[in-house]
Amino acid sequence: MLNGAALQSLLARHGRTQVTAALRGHLDDLRRSALAGTLDSTELHEAAMAEVLEAKLIEAARPRLRPVFNLTGTVLHTNLGRAVLPESAVRAVANSMRAPVNLEFDLASGRRGERDTVVEELLCELTGAEAATVVNNNAAAVLLILSVLAARREVIVSRGELIEIGGAFRMPDIMRQAGAKLVEVGTTNRTHLADYADAIGARTALLMKVHTSNYVISGFTNSVAVAELAELGRTRSVALAVDLGSGSLVDLARWRLPREPTVSESVLAGADLVSFSADKLLGGPQAGLIVGRADLIAKLRKHPLKRALRVGKLTLAALEPVLALYRTPEFLAERLVTLRQLTRPAAAMQDQAVRLRPLVQRSIGDAYEVTDAPMFSQIGSGALPVEQLPSHGLAIRTAKGKRGGLDRLEALMRGLARPVIGRAAEKTLWLDLRCLEASDEAEFVAQWGELRQ
């Protein structure tokens, strides 16, 4: 069969190894159908078999990691890869893959260098810190800090800051893994400076403040400011580490977004180390960033765990141009994709919804009713969890008297060449257009004709 004319084009495109494996699998399927008495003789024609094989080979070759349209209303969607990188970062990553780069080579001296220097100067400039280092995510940054500075010693944390992030990954678990002893102070809703002071003892290695970026405690509350903790740490010779989670490099209030504490504010307030994510509000690739005192950063770099947690050239290649965008904040909302999407006017999305509604309605048929509707987006990835951004998009509901199922429609949309991912709630499929930028609209429109009911 491999020598037959019907399979020659498949052999030329997919190679003999894959075609042979697919053919053997298909023959096994046909044998099972024959034994079950369900085989149709037309399935044995060479052209029919070639058609089946082609479909199987195309599906097998399809990448598992694929671009999608994020119409969920969550801008930094963890399941969809969080921040979308700006074009400058995309080009930098591509360039770093095409040729060798000076990842750990000092071009000035001709000697071996340190990979952190690719972004350290920029991080220090933007945060006011003395030094900086990079690991693969913020959980790794916290793990490294605790392992190096607090192994077999005590770390004091407020009970109201013992966070759990996605995947049931908890701060106490990280403490345990690092070999540090957690000392809880205060209560869930109120912790005072005296609580920290009273807990400091001979075994205390670190004061730790964790920004509750993925939840909010409101009402009768009190937490201790970074500056107060830093002063306490200095008087008692105990370092202060601040975990900002989805930390921002700029004050988002400048663009009328909900305010989030910035990294530079913690550094200026006296924190010895500050850790934060690069792929959340910062708008870069997945990485954990640590800035702070030069002597402590040097200790982190020398620890064996740093090598296990370090990032590669692709991450650093993407991170450098993203950080460089922050040097000209007047252009940031235009050039940084995350900020551009967060600041997109609701009126622009409403105009887009009006344009797209007839197209989507024609594509999905009269079993459904499509309307353009106001809705609310969220930042996502734990950042500012109770804040909502006015948005606009398409609301799809089953038409009266029809049996069209939203689950089936969602599945069809996920089967498109570039899957469309919305949000189902209240018997409605919501397609929030906040993240559908003008540059992607033509591709979005073109593929709706492929939707098959």
The 10s digit of each residue's pLDDT in 202-260 is: 999 999 999 886 677 778 889 999 999 999 999 999 999 999 988 899 999 999 998 88
**Residue 403 amino acid letter:** R
What six digits make up the tokens of 414? 């996920």
pLDDT score at 404: 65
Kindly give the parts of the chain with pLDDT less than 70. 165-169, 213-214, 381-386, 403-404, 452-453
pLDDT of residue 259: 86
Return the SS3 of 377.
strand
**CATH 3.90.1150.110 segments of the chain:** 69-78+341-450
pLDDT at 171: 85
Task: Supply the CATH classification number for the domain 69-78+341-450.
Answer: 3.90.1150.110
What pLDDT does 305 receive? 97
Residues of the chain with CATH 3.40.640.10: 87-331
Half-sphere exposure of 444 (CA within 13 A, CB side): 22
Residue 250, phi then psi, degrees to nearest 5: -135, 160
H runs (alpha helix) in 150-210: 171-178, 193-199
C-beta of residue 393 within 8 angstroms of C-beta of residue 372 = yes
C-alpha distances in Å from residue 177, one per residue of 166, 174, 241, 272, 423:
17, 5, 17, 22, 36
Specify whether the CB–CB gap between 207 and 239 falls below 8 A: yes
pTM of the model: 0.91
Residues 6+ apart with CB under 8 A from 391: 73, 346, 349, 374, 375, 376, 377, 432, 433, 434
Return d(Cα 329, Cα 342) in angstroms, integer. Answer: 15
For 427: left if phi > 0, alpha if psi spans -120 to 50, otherwise beta; the answer is left
| Collapsed DSSP state (helix, strand, coil) of residue 340 | helix
CATH (residue range 87-331): 3.40.640.10
